[in-house]
Structure 1
Amino acid sequence: MTARGTARGPGRWIEHWEPEDPDFWREHGERVARRNLAFSILSEHIGFSIWSLWSVLVLFMGPEYGIDAAGKFFLVGMATLVGAVMRVPYTFAVARFGGRNWTVVAAAMLLLPTLAAFAVMEPGTSYGTFMLVALLTGVGGGNFASSMTNINSFYPLHRKGWALGLNAGGGNIGVPAVQLAALAVIATVGAGQPRVLLGLYLPLIVVSAVCARRWMDNLAPVRNDTGAARESVRDAHTWIMSFLYVGTFGSFIGYSFAFGLVLQNQFDRTPLQAASLTFVGPLLGSLIRPLGGLLADRFGGGRITLWNFAAMAAATGVVAVASQGESMPLFLAGFIALFVLSGLGNGSTYKMIPGIYRAKALARGLTGEEADTYGRRLSGAAIGLIGAVGALGGLGINLAFRQSFQATGTGTAAFVGFLAFYAVCFLVTRQVYTRRRRGPEEATSRAGGAHEENGAERTPAFAGV
């Protein structure tokens, strides 16, 4: 068995793909999957950088721009909103056009918001114009969904946690990368030269599109399945996982976009001082995401996610205390811990998705390739929706900060709200995915778990996802 490329349609197509077959994977599949993963990461990395452009462009916007803190948080929040919405069509674009073909298109589309920002970034530009250009950067947020959907199809179930974590982590590093680039620009040519930063990214966008065209592949067996899409929308687990992903990825992207503004407005940091700290948390959160997937592969995503939410609540409590007491060192320690934990949770929650749908297949009595196919269909359809809803958490965080700073001048109230939300996420994860049950009438979970005879204690079917 081979992974054969054909001339079907534009681009390179692989007609035969069976990653769950050990012989196929060892002899052909793994090599091809790794190559596609590498260039998927590159494209997604640049996409995240462009999506998060306004988290650093606002640092260049001094008093001469005439925009207050609330207005800046709103600019950043709207970029987050469009990026979240774009994830849904981007998910289905992979099956419609091919993963390789769509990666080329998605990468090239990043030129639009970058060139637009290059044209308008100067004092005197209207707030409405800035808002329109910020909205355009949402196309970079869509890259994540198409990239994850594509890579999900390349890897077998037992490798998905690591592969999806690496793909997402490499993409997430685009956030601290653009923040480091901004730091370098501010430190060398000053806070009045945002066009230098934008000029750095224009050739990188072209490189990512060219690399995708040259070295990636389309998988012919991957097709849009409207039946799977409808089934995933009706499935309670799609919405439960969307909620949990709001807590992990929504936190990561929301904090990444807002961190610099919080430092500027709560602790009176200069643009250079804020930029010198902003990148640290997103960098650590990105680097640890593959570890979250790896731990989930080994111990189960539900277990890792459960205790991760408990730790996120504790770290948020530290940040709230530091915010109230205006302790910069304690604030930084707690906030960076939040970034690390959100990255870890990103990896563990995404690993849960294919495991949940395969567990549902087994609960239906399916076995072998039939169960694998069912799991791939449903998880592929659900990933885009879960990713989109999760990203909306970033909008919620920025709006919460905006309201908190407007009302009190600090972010303390927002952090108290975040703490309560993580507590709810902990309870939901425990109830649905990790709680032990007794008795045959209780052992069958509402989502389709199997029961244990004689009332023996047993974890529900989804505890190992």
Structure 2
Amino acid sequence: MTTETARQGRSGGRWIQQWDPEDGEFWERTGKRVANRNLIFSVLSEHIGFSIWSLWSVMVLFMGKAYHVDPAGKFFLVAMPTLVGAFVRIPYTVAVARFGGRNWTVASALLLLLPTLAAAYVMHPGTSYTTFMLVAALTGLGGGNFASSMTNINAFFPMRRKGWALGLNAGGGNIGVPVIQLVALAVITWAGAGHPRLVLGIYLPLVIIAATCAALFMDNLAPMKNDTGALAGVLREKHTWLMSVLYIGTFGSFIGFSFAFGLVLQNQFGRTPLQAAQLTFIGPLLGSLIRPLGGLLADRWGGARITFWNFVAMAAATGLVTYASAERSLALFLPGFIGLFVFAGIGNGSTYKMIPGIFEAKAQDRIAGGATAEQAAAWSRRMSGAAIGVIGAVGALGGLFINLAFRQSFLTAKTGTPAFASFLGAYAVCFALTWAIYLRRPTGSTVTAGTPALAQV
């Protein structure tokens, strides 16, 4: 332990002073066991975070006529947490290096008590719409947990295992969305739509359990330090913004559809709250479970290749959903919409594999410029960690766009068909972008430094 490390307070039983997962001997001897343990409890905390983040996607199912909130207002309610969650992802990413991954996981889990307790206080007829919006904004804190968790786990695993680890971490967190929807379904089924506080009563102890487990079983990595240079660097890097667009298409779709699914079923197909709750969890559940498969496929075949074909599939599924929406055919709509969740889940895994792959490929240019392999690897880890936070923040805004598109579509056309048509165009842009930047093999004078390597990410 260096004097500088001690001065920064990075000492004690929960701080790991040296960490080199790329060293095969170190990884097999101790690294794998420690990394997997941190992964398990990171998933638990992130899972609860996602549940609280998506809280208002189920609270609106309890809001009958007595609440005096129209469909457009409900779409705004479920959009607000997405907006806040996107903005807090940057400071949450920085907090991992500033306070330590374990310490920040404990703190961020305990912060989830604020929106949960606030929702329990205001969730009754007679509360003003402004109050509902403010409390919904508080649940955006749960969206920040994803960014800090992914940045932390990214540092624990070697490059060859990042696709699987990040996919499992994110997938386990994403399952928090369908789980809270299943909890809401159980409450509505057994107690009726007049008891939303039962959902909140279930999650309050779960928040405390997640924080306690993080405190007892997770670790901080002392070598992780705040690096404003890396953050500034990724903001200047064009691939950060290109990948943000792709992540808007995958994760933005997943979270946006998850929040809006129940409202679409009620407004497009006249489902009751109970009928909607019986269906809303299916898509998010499948999309969450399959996300690690997206990472594994990307590890095997390359993230860009999987992402490209995934966007093609999302466009095809959206075509089916658009037709079903126009025909008001629930029998066609459900398999098409659930397919969108599945492909969004696969794409979430493959795009996150691409991020460290891109910076690993660009690190080879630094070696060619005179940097050592160790310096290049350190640069790659710094940049990919910072990029994960930025891309995760921008990508989350896709959920906001989707809910605003649905709101406008139902306001003007009384149907979701125009919104689905716009999503179809967006997915076409995403698969064209993936092919042009990360798959197409340039020839002749168009080849630039790093381009051939990027074709393999």
Q: What is the TM-score when the length of structure 1 is the normalising length?
A: 0.95
The amino acid across from 1:12 in the alignment is: R
User: 1:423 is matched with which residue?
Assistant: 428
User: Following superposition of structure 1 onto structure 2, how do residues 336-355 of structure 1 map, counting pairs within 5 Å?
Assistant: 336-355=338-357
Residue of 25, 28, 34 corresponding to 1:26: 28
User: 1:442 is matched with which residue?
Assistant: 446
Check conservation: 1:308, 1:341, Cα contact below 8 A: yes
Q: What is the TM-score when the length of structure 2 is the normalising length?
A: 0.97
Check conservation: 1:73, 1:399, Cα contact below 8 A: yes
Counterpart of 2:453 in 1: which secondary structure? coil
**How much does 1:200 deviate?**
0.3
Does 2:444 match 1:464?
no
User: Following superposition of structure 1 onto structure 2, how do residues 57-456 of structure 1 map, counting pairs within 5 Å?
Assistant: 57-364=59-366, 365=368, 366=371, 368-439=373-444, 441-444=445-448, 448-449=449-450
The amino acid across from 1:44 in the alignment is: E
Q: Distance in 1 between matches of 2:173 and 2:246?
A: 20
Kindly tell me: are residues 132 and 10 of structure 1, through their superposed partners in 2, closer, same or farther at Cα, counting changes over 3 Å? farther
Q: Distance in 2 between matches of 1:54 and 1:168?
A: 21
**How much does 1:449 deviate?**
2.1
**How much does 1:172 deviate?**
0.1
Check conservation: 1:95, 1:223, Cα contact below 8 A: yes
After the TM superposition, which parts of structure 1 deviate over 4 Å for at least 4 consecutive aligned residues? none
Check conservation: 1:103, 1:209, Cα contact below 8 A: yes
Q: Distance in 2 between matches of 1:385 and 1:267?
A: 37
Q: Structure 2 regions of 5+ residues with no counterpart?
A: none
The amino acid across from 1:394 in the alignment is: G
Q: Distance in 1 between matches of 2:13 and 2:111?
A: 18
Counterpart of 2:360 in 1: which secondary structure? helix
Q: Any idea what the Cα deviations from partners look like across 1:103-138, whole Å, max 9, x if unmatched?
A: 000000000000000001000100000001000000
Kindly tell me: are residues 188 and 20 of structure 1, through their superposed partners in 2, closer, same or farther at Cα, counting changes over 3 Å? same
Q: Any idea what the Cα deviations from partners look like across 1:388-445, whole Å, max 9, x if unmatched?
A: 0000000000000000000011100000000000000011111110002222x1222x
Q: Distance in 1 between matches of 2:168 and 2:267?
A: 34
Q: Distance in 2 between matches of 1:10 and 1:387?
A: 31
Counterpart of 1:461 in 2: which secondary structure? helix
Q: Distance in 2 between matches of 1:433 and 1:146?
A: 27
Kindly tell me: are residues 11 and 317 of structure 1, through their superposed partners in 2, closer, same or farther at Cα, counting changes over 3 Å? farther
Q: Distance in 2 between matches of 1:251 and 1:221?
A: 35
Check conservation: 1:37, 1:167, Cα contact below 8 A: yes
Q: Distance in 2 between matches of 1:321 and 1:359?
A: 41
**How much does 1:369 deviate?**
2.4
Q: Distance in 2 between matches of 1:263 and 1:188?
A: 21
Check conservation: 1:11, 1:100, Cα contact below 8 A: no
The amino acid across from 1:419 in the alignment is: L
Check conservation: 1:306, 1:426, Cα contact below 8 A: yes
Q: Distance in 1 between matches of 2:114 and 2:231?
A: 30
**How much does 1:10 deviate?**
7.1
**How much does 1:193 deviate?**
0.3
Q: Structure 1 regions of 5+ residues with no counterpart?
A: 451-459
**How much does 1:372 deviate?**
1.6
Q: Any idea what the Cα deviations from partners look like across 1:17-49, whole Å, max 9, x if unmatched?
A: 000000000001000000000000000000000
**How much does 1:367 deviate?**
5.3
The amino acid across from 1:426 in the alignment is: F
Q: Distance in 1 between matches of 2:194 and 2:117?
A: 18
Check conservation: 1:60, 1:271, Cα contact below 8 A: yes
User: 2:39 is matched with which residue?
Assistant: 37
Q: Distance in 1 between matches of 2:150 and 2:120?
A: 29
Q: Any idea what the Cα deviations from partners look like across 1:63-103, whole Å, max 9, x if unmatched?
A: 11100100000011011100111101000000000000000
* Percent identity (aligned): 70
What is the aligned-residue RMSD (CA, Å)?
1.2
Q: Distance in 1 between matches of 2:400 and 2:267?
A: 19
Check conservation: 2:364, 2:450, Cα contact below 8 A: no
